[in-house]
Structure 1
Amino acid sequence: MNILDSLKIRKISQGLAGSLKNHPSWCLLVLTFLLIVYALVIFGLYAVNSPAPTAPSSTLQINADLYQQVLSRLKARDTNIQQGIEQNYPDIFR
């Protein structure tokens, strides 16, 4: 970067700083603009790039063996609970 480019950047930054000093409401305008841009970037990263939910019409695949194992465990648990109740509280079930 040569000296002329450096001088151009300095002149532009001084002009921008001078205009912001002369018009303080422009600071709020610039900050509002930057906030909107930031909100759009966050929205884009979160909402647009997130995976889409599955369609409600999609079918559910159930593993039959796993379902039978879980069902048999639940039935065994219910019978164990019933036997435990009958052993611990025999006077109720006479």
Structure 2
Amino acid sequence: MAEKTIMLCCAAGLSTSLLVSKMQKAAELNGIDVKIFATSAADADAKLDEEIPDVLMLGPQVRYLEGQFKDKLNIPVEVINMQDYGMMNGEEVFKRAVSLIHE
């Protein structure tokens, strides 16, 4: 079982799927056992009922949901840096997610 769980959320869950695979590679390179998964904004509440992530990272296109999730969750919630998201920089997004977990 993974030590930590990172949840990504975007409009449809598709663009973050590629980011998830790049983040998993970064985790493996750093020897960190982590579960990373993506979901659509429409399915986010259902996923949060199933999973208990340690951090929720939002795609820039759903930044409007940040306040709503921060109000109802007791975990770090942050919008993914737009440049890292656009470049699909899984390593940087992974590092940021881990740092949020440890803050």
Which band: TM-score by shorter chain?
A: under 0.3
* Structure of larger gyration radius: 1
Structure with bigger RCO (C-alpha 8 Å, 6+ apart): 2
TM-score of the pair, normalised by structure 2: 0.19
TM-score (norm 1): 0.20
Identify, as 1 or 2, the structure richer in helix: 1
